[in-house]
């Protein structure tokens, strides 16, 4: 017999993650081969656009690399700088670092319909998944791109 508990429990979360990782590693030769290599863990990748005059943040990209993939988590450009290519430069710089310094061969990201799916397609990304009504009234897109 079991009881179900719903409280947030960091120790159990970490134990669950460890056990899932062990199960996945045992089942996948690809994941097993990553063990003990630099690609085994996420490596943060950040690119910032900072105004020279006042050090204000004009834009930025936050992501990480793992298993020869770049995952873009956030990409944002201040409204007054949009439409001038800054977002494309931030993305290109992250892709450059990912390919030249970290051996990445592909990139992935998620965006909503009101954000930037067309922008990413212009940068060579392809839609691989569409999730309508997530969250309600919004469509989420997952996109990927082969790098290098």
* β-pairing verdict for 57-66 and 43-50: antiparallel
pLDDT of residue 60: 98
Compute φ and ψ for 6, nearest 5 degrees.
-125, 5
Instruction: Render pLDDT for 87-114 as a digit per residue (tens, 0 to 9).
Output: 999 999 999 999 999 999 999 999 999 9
Closest Cα partner for 47 from 77, 90, 107? Answer: 90
pLDDT of the residue at 78: 96
CATH level 3 topology of 40-146: Aminopeptidase (3.40.630)
Q: Where are the domains of the chain?
A: 40-146
Tallying the residues shown for the chain, one arrives at: 148
pLDDT at 39 (0 to 100): 77
Specify the pLDDT at position 124. 98
Looking at residue 54, its pLDDT comes to 92
Q: What percentage of the chain has pLDDT greater than the value 90?
A: 90
Contacts of 40 (CB under 8 A, 6+ apart): 34
Task: Name beta bridge partners: 62.
Answer: 46, 74
The predicted structure's pLDDT at residue 57: 97
Any idea which residue has 């990782």 for tokens? 21
Q: Is the pLDDT of residue 40 over 90?
A: no
């Amino acid at each position: 017999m079991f009881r179900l508990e719903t409280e947030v429990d960091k120790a159990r979360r970490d134990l669950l993650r460890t056990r899932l990782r062990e199960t996945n590693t045992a089942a996948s030769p690809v994941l097993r081969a990553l063990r003990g290599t630099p690609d085994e863990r996420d490596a943060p990748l950040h690119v910032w656009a900072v105004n020279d005059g006042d050090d204000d943040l004009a834009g930025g990209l936050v992501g990480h690399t793992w298993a020869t993939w770049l995952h873009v988590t956030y990409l944002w450009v201040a409204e007054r700088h949009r439409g001038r290519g800054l977002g494309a430069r931030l993305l290109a710089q992250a892709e450059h670092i990912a390919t030249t310094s970290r051996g990445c061969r592909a990139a992935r990201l998620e965006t909503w319909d009101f954000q930037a799916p067309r922008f990413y397609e212009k940068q060579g990304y392809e839609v691989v998944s569409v999730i309508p009504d997530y969250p309600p009234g919004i469509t989420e897109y997952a996109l990927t791109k082969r790098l290098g």
